[in-house]
Amino acid sequence: MAVVPAAVEIIVDVTGVGHGGFGIARHDGRVVFVRHALPGERVRAHVTEGTEDSRYWRADAVEILTPSADRVEPPCPYAGPGKCGGCDWQHASLPAQRRLKADVIAEQLWRLAGIEWDVEVEPVPDEHDGLGWRTRMTYAVDEEDRAGLRRHRSHDVVPIDECAIAHPGIRSLQIEQRPWPGMESVQAAVSGTGERLVIAEPGQRDVDVPELPADVSVAMTDEHGKIRTVEGHAELTETAWGRTWQVSAGGFWQVHPGAADLLGEAVAQAVRPRPGERALDLYSGAGLFAAVLADGVGHDGSVVAIEGDRRAAADARNNLADLEQVTFRTGPVDRVLGKEDELGADVVVLDPPRAGAKLNVVHEIARRHPRAIAYVACDPAALGRDLATFATAGYRLSGLRAFDLFPMTHHVECVATIVPADEPAT
């Protein structure tokens, strides 16, 4: 197949939005996915991927011929065609970004699960400009030892002076201004208590991390991917749901400062755990939702937290050691559920990775006949596929909240409430 020449430019009308942060257009009967464009715009687009025989092309909008009323000037100089690929919607107002994300969620639910749903994406309380929220960043290091971010769908590193969506605690580390000789990547994190951590991944052995402020903890990954502490502490202290949490270096915690409490409240509202009930927290991470469930079921109830990552499971055990009603299982969720038939469930919370829970986990949940399920989803397509599977197992969607936890990007978080299909609608 002949490759489309690099200089090919087309003029298209953008008619919709697609999952992944692009507009949808057509050219000579072919679908074109156009980044840096908005629905309702006519743009001149540079084709970046595709062949003459391809069913679809990818392209960047390089000139806006007819702008949308929702278009704004991107707040970051590195947002745009051929630049940093981290943000998808900086050229759209924040209300427009949320409408676009709502459209994507609704389309995925309809296309993948046959569910028609009126979706609203809620802002995080006190969110003003969509900047300065990201508390965990991963930078790539180029051949000149400069830290930067990658171009969209590319391994090329774009050196930057500062990331506009990075939390001020991250920016204060000045990762981008320091040379990183011998390093492949650099992770930086700041906790809700103000602790800062840098994890360097060396591309060669026997290299040192550049000098950082004395109050910054420093770690490095070894040749096996394990993290060893160089200076300070191997974990960060977070606060959420009225508790203090220890999260190991490299461990998972929500990247928006307001996310943990917001999701905890949404999960509690979705399943409304009752005193004495049995609860399952699947993909439990550091234990946030297990704590939410424990508050609801009380001392007479039980919560079983299941997590496949040993580091996260250890964090959860430490974080919830004071809650006698919470017990833990470490291993892949589908295997643990498949082996332990005695694990009953009146309510279930699951927060799977981006790929979703998939068939086996959905069936293992359904055969326990919970009265309510809260599905925390970071990918609307995975949510749609799993909701279709839940439908075949006798469950239906009864509620959905969506949150703009990742402003300026196409990412969005959903909390879906799932109940038995024969339960009357409320």
Q: What are 156-208's pLDDT values in tens digits?
A: 999 999 999 999 999 999 999 999 999 999 999 999 999 999 999 998 778 88
For residue 223, the model assigns a pLDDT of 83
For residue 83, the model assigns a pLDDT of 96
Output the pTM of the full model. Answer: 0.96
Q: Which residues does the annotation mark as catalytic?
A: 378
254 is in an annotated binding site: yes
The H-or-E segment that residue 47 falls in is: strand 42-49
Residue 337 dihedral angles phi and psi, to the nearest 5°:
-65, -35
In CATH terms, are 9-71 and 110-124+238-420 the same topology?
A: no
For residue 195, the model assigns a pLDDT of 97
> For the chain, which residues make up each domain, given as ranges?
9-71, 110-124+238-420, 136-190+196-232
Q: Does domain 110-124+238-420 have CATH number 3.40.50.150?
A: yes
CATH superfamily of 9-71: Nucleic acid-binding proteins (2.40.50.140)
351 is in an annotated binding site: yes
For residue 107, the model assigns a pLDDT of 98
For residue 6, the model assigns a pLDDT of 56
Determine the straight-line distance between the first and last CA of the chain, rounded to whole angstroms.
55
- Among 400, 163, 159, smallest CA distance to 267 is for 400
Q: What are 22-46's pLDDT values in tens digits?
A: 999 999 999 999 999 999 999 999 9
- Is the four-CA dihedral 235, 85, 102, 92 of positive or negative sign? positive
In angstroms and rounded to an integer, the radius of gyration of the C-alpha atoms of the chain is 23
Residues 306, 330: Cα–Cα separation, whole Å: 6
Query: Which residue numbers in the chain have pLDDT < 70?
Result: 1-7, 425-426
Taking the CA atoms of residue 367, residue 373, residue 375 and residue 380 in that order, the dihedral angle to the nearest 10 degrees is: 80
Amino acid type, 298: G
